[in-house]
A and B are shown apart, each in its own frame.
Chain A
Amino acid sequence: MKNFDLKKFLADRSVPIMFIIICLVCIPLSGFSTSYLFNEIVTRVARNTFLILSLLIPIMAGMGLNFGMTLGAMAGEIALIFSSDWQIWGIPGVVLAMILSIPISILLGALCGTLLNMSRGREMITSYIISFFINGIYQLVVLYMMGPIIPILHESIKLPRGYGIRNTVSLLNLRQCIDNLISVNILGVKIPVLSFIIIIALCLFIVWFTKTKLGQDMRAVGQNMEVARAAGINVDRTRVLSIIISTVLAGFGMILYLQNMGNIATYSSHSQIGMFCIAALLVGGASVDKASIGNVFLGVILFHLMFIVAPRAGTVITGDSMIGEYFRVFISYGVITLALVMYEAKKHKKKKMKDGGDNEE
């Protein structure tokens, strides 16, 4: 009996365990010092966790992995472009960008949520395509409309041709302003206390949110839409709200992420962010329909540890630096694929059992 439990325990956590093994193999091979690794991990956890936390609420509402979080990232970038153009520096600049991103995020989130309601049953692929579609709109706005239609004050952030934003927007004057405000140094590891306080505040918010009426509604919708509807919950509205909240949080997350980086790669910062956040969440042992705050933290640590050590370890093993690079990309995609297959297979099986007495296969 006890043996059986252990097996199930391990099976449920197969992905994190696999990652722990990969990391354990790669860390000694990479030859990085412990303090370097700790520093890197702390920085990356502070930088990425907020973004990953934004994925939790749609999962709770049964809408799967929100590939549309990229929309929030784009809203955050647009807000930062403004705050940088108006020369609002330091923490006020970050706060301003956050507030400016809210209306854009709400708008995009509402659009995304509505479209997802129209494509029930294939939310994920739809949110994935939405992120590409809105990326097109984003480029239209940033590359062509900023300048002639949307006023941009400073020539320095415009392309030399006079309209459109440069490939890079410097955030030098709000670079790491939040990370450095209260930071302590423990054994050579710089810990950005304020960033962690913000992340913990968001965790508390999520815990509190799940206990509110809306949070309970979302959980009900996630478990069974028909039952929720019968119980008088406005299912469509609840689902749209979950996406809006996620988009707004993703916008905040992106702003925190970029203030750490110190500049915006205008046309590429957001493009991969959804994929990496989702991969990190899944590495932490989350699945498409179940994810917790614990998954986020475990995931962000393991995933980024793998990301740091894999290229070097790959070089040591094969003598080719590119192998490790490709390896970590493969692992990121592989993890998502695995999670999706497991989720869909489970769903398919359940459905078959419900249909009853089905005897193909």
Chain B
Amino acid sequence: MKNKSFLYKTILVILLAAICIVMIYIGRGHTLYFDNKSMEINGKVVDAPYRTKVFVKGKEVANLNAGDRGMSIWIGPTAHIDLEVTSVKGGDKKNISYKVKLPREYDGVVINLVGLMNEAPYDSYISEFIPLATAVEPVEEEVIVDEMGELGLGEE
């Protein structure tokens, strides 16, 4: 009897731990930065298309002219992005879908769309976004609380 309940408890703990790990895996959030910029692939400079629209989960998140950068967020290890590419002004629109594996350790991931579209080596079009170290600490953001917090009564 006692053994059985111990067994149940162990299974429960293992199960919860497993869910934890799964959550950490599928829940890792990244900020994605899309660069529609020309880049060098295998020693050859490839120009950026005239305009690229980026869709994430069916929503347009960026409309990039050549040389632009757009951003979005993605939760999970592999980002699904759809591109609508216009190579030259007034030219035909081409829709392409991509699945991009995101490096776990990067909070912000810069994806060069030109590299992605031309099947450049993974490392060459993925880089970590390092925010500019601003000299001054940002001002403490406003706290959103409901009345329960804002009264600030008599707590020791």
Q: What residues make up the interface of A, taking CB atoms closer than 8 Å to B?
A: 44, 47, 86-93, 95-96, 99-100, 102, 132, 135, 154, 160, 166-168, 170, 173, 261-263, 265, 268-269, 271-273, 276, 307, 325, 328-329
Q: Is the CB of B107 within 8 A of A87?
A: yes
B123 within 8 A of A: no
Q: Does B29 lie within 8 Å of A173, measured CB to CB?
A: yes
Contact B23 A307 (CB under 8 A): no
The yes or no answer to B135 lying at the interface (CB within 8 A) is: no
CA distance A102 to B20 in the complex (A): 12
User: Which of A135, A262, A325 contacts B144 (CB under 8 A)?
Assistant: A262
Partner of B155, one of A96, A167, A261, A272: A272
Contact yes or no, B148 A272, CB < 8 A: yes
Q: How far is the CA of A37 from the CA of B125 in the complex (A)?
A: 51
**How far is the CB of A183 from the nearest CB of chain B, in Å?**
17
**Min C-beta distance of B63 to chain A, whole Å:** 23
**Nearest neighbor of B131 in chain A, beta-carbon distance:** A156
The answer to whether B143 touches A89, judged by C-beta atoms less than 8 angstroms apart, is: no
Taking the closest CB of chain A, its distance from the CB of B153, in whole angstroms, is 6
Q: Which residue of chain A lies nearest to B146 when distances are taken between CB atoms in the complex?
A: A261
The residues of B with any CB-CB pair to A shorter than 8 Å are 16, 19-20, 22-24, 26-30, 73, 75, 107, 137, 140-141, 143-149, 151-153, 155-156
Choice from A95, A135, A173, A328 contacting B23 with Cβ under 8 Å: A95
- Chain B residue with Cβ nearest A261: B144
Chain A interface secondary structure, helix, strand, loop or mixed? helix
A87 B29 Cβ-Cβ under 8 A: yes
Total A-B residue contacts, Cβ distance less than 8 Å? 89
Known: A89-B28, A135-B155, A263-B143. 19 other contacts (CB 8 A): A86-B24, A87-B29, A87-B107, A88-B24, A88-B27, A89-B29, A92-B24, A93-B23, A95-B27, A100-B20, A166-B140, A167-B143, A168-B141, A170-B141, A261-B144, A263-B141, A272-B148, A273-B148, A328-B147
C-alpha gap A265/B107 in the complex (Å) = 23
Collect the chain A residues with CB atoms within 8 Å of residue B156's CB.
132, 135
Q: Contacts A89-B29, A92-B23, A92-B26 known; A261 to B16 CB distance under 8 Å?
A: no
- Which interface residue of A44, A89, A166, A167 has the most chain B CB atoms within 10 A? A89
B73: chain A residues at CB < 8 Å are: 89, 173
On whether the beta carbons of A268 and B149 are closer than 8 Å, the reply is yes
CB distance from B103 to the nearest CB of A (A): 13
Residues on the A chain within 8 Å of B29, using CB? 87-90, 93, 173
Smallest distance from the beta carbon of B151 to chain A beta carbons, Å? 6
11 A-B pairs whose Cβ atoms sit less than 8 Å apart in the complex: A86-B28, A89-B73, A92-B27, A95-B19, A99-B16, A102-B16, A154-B107, A170-B141, A173-B29, A272-B153, A273-B148
Taking A88-B29, A272-B151 as contacts, is the C-beta distance between A261 and B140 under 8 angstroms? Answer: no
Alpha-carbon distance between A342 and B52 when the two chains are bound, in angstroms: 70
Q: Is there an interface contact between B145 and A329, defined as CB atoms closer than 8 Å?
A: no
B20 close to A96 (CB less than 8 A): yes
A178 to B107, CA, bound (A): 23
Does the CB pair B145–A268 fall under 8 Å?
Answer: yes
Residues of A with C-beta under 8 A to B107: 87, 154
Collect the chain B residues with CB atoms within 8 Å of residue A271's CB.
Answer: 155
Expressed in whole angstroms, the minimum distance between the Cβ of B88 and any Cβ of chain A is: 37
